[in-house]
Amino acid sequence: MKSILRRELGSPLLLGLVGTLFIALGSLAVGWLGPGSNVRGWPIIQSLRGNDLLVHISTFVVIGAGLLLVIAWLKLGSAMRRNPADALKRVVVTSVVWALPLAVAVPLYSRDLFAYVGQGRLMAGGFNPYVDGISAIQGWFNIGVDPMWANAKTPYGPVYLAIEEATVTISGDSPIVAVALFRLIAIVSALAIAFYAYRLARMRQIDPGKVLWLVLASPVVMFNFVVAGHNDALMLALLIAGMYYALRRHPIIAILLVTASVGVKPIAVLALPIIGIIWAGQNRTLRSTVKYWVMTVVISGAVLGALGFALGIGFGWVLTLATPGSVSHWYAPVNILAIAVGGAFGAFGLDGEMPANIVKFVAIGAMVVVVAWVMLTKRTFDPLMRLALAFTATVILSPVIHPWYAAWCIILFAIVGIREGLATHLAVSASIFFACVSIAEGMDISDAVQGDILGYVIRTVFITGGGIALIIAYCIHEELSVKLIVQRLRSYRERRAIQKLNRAAAGGSVKPRTSV
Q: What is the pLDDT along the chain (516 residues), one digit of tens a residue?
A: 344 334 445 689 999 999 999 999 999 999 999 888 888 889 999 999 988 899 999 999 999 999 999 999 999 998 998 888 888 999 999 999 999 999 999 999 999 999 999 999 999 988 888 888 898 988 888 888 888 888 888 889 999 999 999 999 999 888 899 999 999 999 999 999 999 999 999 999 999 999 999 999 999 999 999 999 999 999 999 999 999 999 999 999 999 999 999 999 999 999 999 999 999 877 787 788 889 899 999 999 899 888 888 887 777 767 655 544 556 678 889 989 989 988 888 888 888 888 888 988 999 999 999 999 999 887 778 899 999 999 999 999 988 889 999 999 999 999 999 888 888 888 999 999 999 999 988 888 876 677 778 887 888 888 888 888 888 887 777 666 566 666 666 766 777 777 777 766 765 444 444 456
Residue at 357 is within a domain = no
pLDDT of residue 372: 92
For residue 147, the 8-state DSSP code is G
Residue at 390 is within a domain = no
Query: Which 3 state secondary structure label does DSSP give 127?
Result: coil
pLDDT of residue 1: 39
Q: Is 263 within 8 Å of 237 (Cβ atoms)?
A: no
pLDDT of residue 506: 66
Residue at 367 is within a domain = no
Nearest alpha-carbon partner for 121 in 182, 200, 203? 182
Residue 31's Cα: distance from chain center in Å? Answer: 20
pLDDT of residue 310: 83
Query: Which 3 state secondary structure label does DSSP give 43?
Result: helix
pLDDT of residue 281: 79
What is the enclosing helix (H) or strand (E) of 316? Answer: none
Through-space distance between the first and last CA atoms of the chain, rounded to whole angstroms: 56
* Alpha-carbon distance values, 219 to 97, 254, 431, 434 (Å): 13, 29, 7, 9
> How many structural domains is the chain composed of?
1
Residue at 512 is within a domain = no
pLDDT of residue 148: 85
Q: Residue 215 region, left (φ>0) first, then alpha (ψ -120 to 50), else beta?
A: alpha
Residue at 167 is within a domain = yes
pLDDT of residue 324: 45
* Alpha-carbon distance values, 121 to 261, 284, 353, 426 (Å): 22, 47, 37, 42
Query: Which 3 state secondary structure label does DSSP give 34?
Result: coil
Residue at 173 is within a domain = yes
Residue at 300 is within a domain = yes
Residue by residue, DSSP assigns 339-371 as HHHHHHHHHTTS--HHHHHHHHHHHHHHHHHHH
Q: How far apart are CA 164 and CA 324, in angstroms?
A: 19
Residue at 306 is within a domain = yes
Nearest alpha-carbon partner for 401 in 375, 374, 451, 363? 363
- pTM for the predicted model, two decimal places: 0.88
Domain assignment of residue 58, given as a range: 2-327+400-480
Angle of helix 353-376 relative to helix 383-396, nearest 10 degrees?
A: 180
Continuous H helices in 440-509: 447-450, 453-477, 482-505
